[in-house]
């Protein structure tokens, strides 16, 4: 039911192209998963989402447990039937929400307790509860519960959270009951090479169907992230899929692919689309800029998305006039851009040309281009 096959590894960089088989269809990798935290990718219908080329989407245990509740989703046939998405779904465990609500969270060996961001009610999340909720949701891939820290952090804190993540992963594995749902473990360890490798080895010994790299894009510099990936991915099982959680700048995706990562997710395409920023192959375009007022060119002439049927001037007008069509069109464009990007990466890997592909993107997307990109949802 679950199977991952590597079809090609780029000779120069080690970038990988493969296929993850799931009960709801295949996922060709490298792959980008749009984030549908609450059972929807913001502002985009299921049909529009399919048209972007998306293969797999992500939902969130914590948010769906609060609204509408795991019981409601289960009673309506699971997340696929509830949302109408027939392809593969991955659910996050809620570990990042513990991190993001850390000011109100109490974390013990048994569980995390924190207050709902909706009504302030206490919400408890243990490894076993995270598994139970995800089994009710019926996702194809369920993430183990992990302990995420903001970086930089003291070495003792990093080690404590990393070791707890390993113990929680084992508890998640023991609690699993569904045979049609694969669990992915999450490698923690901050920026420390020794701890990352130790964590990867401990989790590899538990033989999960897939492995994620967590605890990055939480405050560290991009160079530090690339360094961590450089020594973490070689310690991960070669024959299992590798997922870098929550990382979504286009330059970070192509850099991570060069370091052996297969899967990605991030809110950046839709978040930035709602804020009038479009991703293009030449770099970000800010639609509110006055220079676009009379520009009759499309965002990208070769892009098949509905936004690119219109001029830059029209798209700018929609945002300046406060029309909801603008954020919708730009979200669709950005999602389409990400799918085209990973498809181009797949092709370059199969042709053993990923090194030149990466060099070209580095030259186009310098840090100045990304300075206004919004990273958080």
Q: For residues 276 and 292, what is the distance between their CA atoms, to the nearest angstrom? A: 12
CA-CA-CA-CA dihedral for 241, 242, 245, 250, to nearest 10: -110
Q: Which two tokens stand for residue 259?
A: 């370091």
Q: Which two tokens stand for residue 117?
A: 């961001």
Q: Hunting for tokens 């019981």 — which residue is that?
A: 71
Q: For residues 174 and 172, what is the distance between their CA atoms, to the nearest angstrom? A: 5
Mark whether 92 is an active-site residue.
yes
3-state class of 186 per DSSP?
strand
Residues 6+ apart with CB under 8 A from 302: none
Residues 6+ apart with CB under 8 A from 43: 270, 273, 274, 324, 327, 328, 331
E strand map for the chain: 3-9, 16-22, 25-29, 31-34, 57-60, 89-92, 106-107, 112-115, 122-125, 141-143, 182-187, 210-213, 242-244, 263-266, 277-278, 285-286
Mark whether 265 is an active-site residue.
yes
Enter the DSSP assignment of 309. Answer: G
Q: Which two tokens stand for residue 100?
A: 């993001």
Best CA proximity match to 56, nearest among 263, 278, 341, 337: 263
The residues facing 25 across adjacent strands are 22
Q: Which of 146, 252, 262, 265 is catalytic?
A: 265
Q: Which of 92, 146, 252, 262 is catalytic?
A: 92
- Residue 122, sorted as left (phi over 0), alpha (psi -120 to 50) or beta, turns out to be beta
DSSP string, 215-284: S-SSS--HHHHHHHHHHHGGGS-TTS-EEETT---HHHHHHHHHTT--EEEESHHHHHHHTTEE--TT--
Q: Which two tokens stand for residue 84?
A: 């109408």
Q: Hunting for tokens 């019926």 — which residue is that?
A: 138
Report, as residue numbers or ranges, the catalytic residues: 92, 265
């Amino acid at each position: 039911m679950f199977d991952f096959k590597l079809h090609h590894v780029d000779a120069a960089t080690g970038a990988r192209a493969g296929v993850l088989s799931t009960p709801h269809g295949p996922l060709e990798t490298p792959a980008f998963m749009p984030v549908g935290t609450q059972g929807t990718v913001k502002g985009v219908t299921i049909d529009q989402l399919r048209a972007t080329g998306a293969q797999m989407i992500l939902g969130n245990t914590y948010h769906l447990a609060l609204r509408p509740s795991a019981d409601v989703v289960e009673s309506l046939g699971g997340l696929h039937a509830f949302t109408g998405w027939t392809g593969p779904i991955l659910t996050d465990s809620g570990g990042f929400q513990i991190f993001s609500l850390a000011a109100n969270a109490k974390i013990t060996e048994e569980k995390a307790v924190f207050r709902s961001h909706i009504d302030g009610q206490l919400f408890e999340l243990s490894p076993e509860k995270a598994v139970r909720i995800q089994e009710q949701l019926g996702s194809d891939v369920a993430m183990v519960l992990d302990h995420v820290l903001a970086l930089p952090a003291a070495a003792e804190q990093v080690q404590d959270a990393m070791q707890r993540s390993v113990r929680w992963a084992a508890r998640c594995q023991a609690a699993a009951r569904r045979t049609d749902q694969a669990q992915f473990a999450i490698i923690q360890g901050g920026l420390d090479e020794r701890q990352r490798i130790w964590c990867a080895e401990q989790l590899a010994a538990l033989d999960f169907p897939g492995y994620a790299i967590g605890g990055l894009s939480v405050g560290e510099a991009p160079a530090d992230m690339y360094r961590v990936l450089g020594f973490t991915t070689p310690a991960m099982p070669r024959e299992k899929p590798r997922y870098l959680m929550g990382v979504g700048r286009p330059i970070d995706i192509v850099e991570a692919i060069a370091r052996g990562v297969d899967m990605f997710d991030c809110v950046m395409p839709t978040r930035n689309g709602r804020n009038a920023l479009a991703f293009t192959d030449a770099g970000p375009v800010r639609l509110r800029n006055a220079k676009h007022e009379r520009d009759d060119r499309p965002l990208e002439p070769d892009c098949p998305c509905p936004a690119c049927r219109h001029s830059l001037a029209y798209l700018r007008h929609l945002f300046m006039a406060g029309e909801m069509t603008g954020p919708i069109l730009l979200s669709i464009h950005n999602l389409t851009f990400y799918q085209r990007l990973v498809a181009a990466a797949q092709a370059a890997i199969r042709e053993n040309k990923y090194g030149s592909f990466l060099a070209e993107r580095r030259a186009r997307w310098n840090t100045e281009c990304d300075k206004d990109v919004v990273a958080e949802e």
